[in-house]
Amino acid sequence: MTLTQQIINTLKSHQGTPEKQKILMGFFKTGPGEYGEGDQFLGIPVPTTRAIAKTFVLVDLNTIHQLLLNEWHEVRLCALLMLITRFKKLKNEQELIVKFYVDHARYINNWDLVDLSAPHIVGAYLLTSNDRSLLYELAESDMLWKRRIAMVSTLTFIRHDQFQDTLALSKMLLNDKESLMHKATGWMLREVGKRDEPVLTAFLESYARELPRTALRYAIEHYPEEERKEWLKNSKS
């Protein structure tokens, strides 16, 4: 039995009930025309998937590649968790792993897969870099998942009080048509505000009217209610 099949079999041994699978398929919008169209779920809780990923030490990139091509959502999640471990442990491979990650973006094809991996791979890799052009290349992509990777990767920078790229990408993506990008932008702006509210307020004074309403709602969640109402009063519909 190959390592790939061993990992898949281990995950399948923890498969949830049909009811749990159905709930997850609805939650992650897997219906026709939805962003997660066609995705399949085993119904495994994320902590269980994390625990399984930890039992396989430094899984090779070819195996991770095979897992990312798998139809099951949790198998792809497990692959990404294994890739994060490899990234953290093998410093000399980090550039290669980032390229591998970006090249496989089409398989990192739901918001949770992006959000659980992008800050720990792309964000971590670029944190100490003077060249963050990769973020802007991703943000210009026609692929939703690459744009979300770009934005969510900046969470790592925010946690180190570096806000410039989050604000720059928020400006770039003002006219993005995808609700998942509105949510990601608003989420990152909210995180900026948690670290430095005056920085967020200054940004909103310039761009609140242009931000999609969902993004603005997310961004101002920690503001007092009356202040939120004022921001929303003249916001973009």
The domain locations on the chain are 1-89, 111-237
Inform me whether the pLDDT recorded for 48 exceeds 70. Answer: yes
> What was the pLDDT predicted at 237?
61
pLDDT of residue 31: 80
CA distance 74 to 82: 12
Structure confidence at residue 142 as a pLDDT band (50, 70, 90): very high
Identify which of 60, 56, 28, 61 has the alpha carbon closest to the alpha carbon of residue 42: 28
Encode pLDDT of 62-89 as tens digits.
999 999 999 999 999 999 999 999 999 9
Residue 59's pLDDT band (boundaries 50, 70, 90)? very high
CATH class of 111-237: mainly alpha
One-letter amino acid at 213 equals: R
Q: Per-residue confidence at 28, pLDDT binned at 50, 70, 90? A: confident
Distance (Å, rounded) from C-alpha 210 to C-alpha 203?
11
Which pLDDT tens digit goes with each residue over 85-107? Answer: 999 999 999 999 999 999 999 99
CA terminus-to-terminus distance, the chain: 55
Q: Is residue 181 scored above 70 in pLDDT? A: yes
Classify domain 1-89 by CATH architecture.
Alpha Horseshoe (1.25)
Statement: residue 22 has pLDDT above 90: no
| Angle in degrees, CA 131, 113, 220, rounded to 5 | 75
Q: What is the C-alpha separation between 21 and 25, in angstroms, rounded?
A: 6
